[in-house]
Amino acid sequence: MNKFGMFIHWGIYAATGQHEQALARYDMPFDEYDSLVESFNPTDYNPEEWVLLAKNAGMKYICFTTKHHDGFCMWDTKHTDYNVMNTPYGKDVLKMLADACQKHGMLLSLYYSNPDWHHENGYNMRSTHQWKSRYPEFGDTEKYREYVKKQLQELLTGYGKIYTLFWDIPPQIEDPSLNAYVRSLQPDILINDRGWDKGDFSTPEREVPDGERFSRMTEACQSVGEQAWGYREDEDYFSVRFLTSSIDKIMAMGGSYLLNVGPMPNGKIPEKAKNILERVGDWYTRMGGTLEDHDAAPYPFRARGGIPFIATQKNGKTYIHLYNGAPSSAFSFEVAPAFLPKSARLVNDGRTLRVRYGLLPGWGGAQGLANGPYLSIADIPCDEFENEPLVIELEW
């Protein structure tokens, strides 16, 4: 599990133009929120456009919000009327997305919220994100879990092979039987750590952890928007540099990365979000697969000057990930193999870089003598690529 994927937050909350938790964050009356069901009609929804946008960006999977905290279901579920089939649109949008994914070789993952503000038994006093529950007096986690299992049966048998299950908001209740049930329906599925046991992988959200290699399977997630995961009309967007730096570091550490967009109520991805995905995808595809299926570099490299980097290895080659960019035209190692690499290449554009081994006069040693010798990679076009991370390939 070391892939780049697209996270998609989409539901009736898109019609508010505010936030995926607009019902709670803006304390909307339930009647007002429920009226969105009567007008939700995404006639411009074309899941192939989503899939091809992801594929062209180098993404390998799409994780879709089947049900968020509001409890509204984006598939043809038989266990609640609060679902997309009872909108003017009246189509199973998840089935349409699953078909498009299968057509274009895209893996499909499913997000499922543990909080459910609509379900009669959904209130869970042990968990968070419960403040907008309609029926706190009827909270019954055992009855609610039976409802969840019925929905999981639909989701995991009606939409083909599912890559991962993304539970959201830990219930703070241990019940391994739920993940066991998931695996009985999809034996090869990977399950995150926000459900009813620790699952298979960790999920840092909107952060880049310290370190050089994850000790556990990890999938980080971030949205192109700073304020929301669902559609927000007046969104504040992250820079492409911020996102690519985050992606490079997380994936160089061996993790997967989910980059989220929130489609508009008509089913289209906002132009600003689409443009960001395309620009991120341009950088990512130029990386030529170096961020996937790699190992940690076997040699304990250390840089002069404390420049942050991560070294990985793939197909016998070393990759130096300068995830915060290069501060100068040279990158020097304080600790490196005692022989020159055969070649050095900047993966960003394929150009050959110069390799040298010698004294560095700027690093004064005893009695003012030049320090070294050190292995250096020179002629790095740091100013030409100031808006993206740099990856250097070393062939030994």
Residues 303, 387 share a domain:
yes
Q: What is the CATH number of the domain that holds 114?
A: 3.20.20.80
Residues 322, 194 share a domain:
no
Q: Between the CA of residue 30 and those of 2, 34, 66, 84, 153, what are the distances in Å?
A: 41, 6, 20, 17, 29
Residues 315, 181 share a domain:
no
Residues 387, 354 share a domain:
yes
Residues 238, 241, 242, 248, CA torsion sign: positive
8 Å CB contact between 285 and 301? no
Among candidate residues 286, 306, 323, the one where a domain is terminated: 286
Residues 375, 249 share a domain:
no
Among candidate residues 243, 269, 286, the one where a domain is terminated: 286
Residues 281, 300 share a domain:
no
Residues 70, 50 share a domain:
yes
Give the whole-angstrom CA distance, residue 167 versus residue 165.
Answer: 6
Among candidate residues 286, 304, 330, the one where a domain is terminated: 286
Q: What pTM was computed for the model?
A: 0.97
Which residue range is the domain that position 384 belongs to?
A: 295-395
Residues 109, 199 share a domain:
yes
Residue-by-residue pLDDT tens, the chain, 396 positions: 999 999 999 999 999 999 999 999 999 999 999 999 999 999 999 999 999 999 999 999 999 999 999 999 999 999 999 999 999 999 999 999 999 999 999 999 999 999 999 999 999 999 999 999 999 999 999 999 999 999 999 999 999 999 999 999 999 999 999 999 999 999 999 999 999 999 999 999 999 999 999 999 999 999 999 999 999 999 999 999 999 999 999 999 999 999 999 999 999 999 999 999 999 999 999 999 999 999 999 999 999 888 999 999 999 999 999 999 999 999 999 999 878 999 999 999 999 999 999 988 987 777 888 888 999 999 999 999 999 999 999 999
Q: Between the CA of residue 392 and those of 198, 307, 344, what are the distances in Å?
A: 36, 14, 7
Residues 338, 252 share a domain:
no
Give the whole-angstrom CA distance, residue 180 versus residue 175.
Answer: 9
8 Å CB contact between 251 and 4? yes
Residues 191, 144 share a domain:
yes
Domains in the chain: how many in total? 2
Residues 353, 306 share a domain:
yes
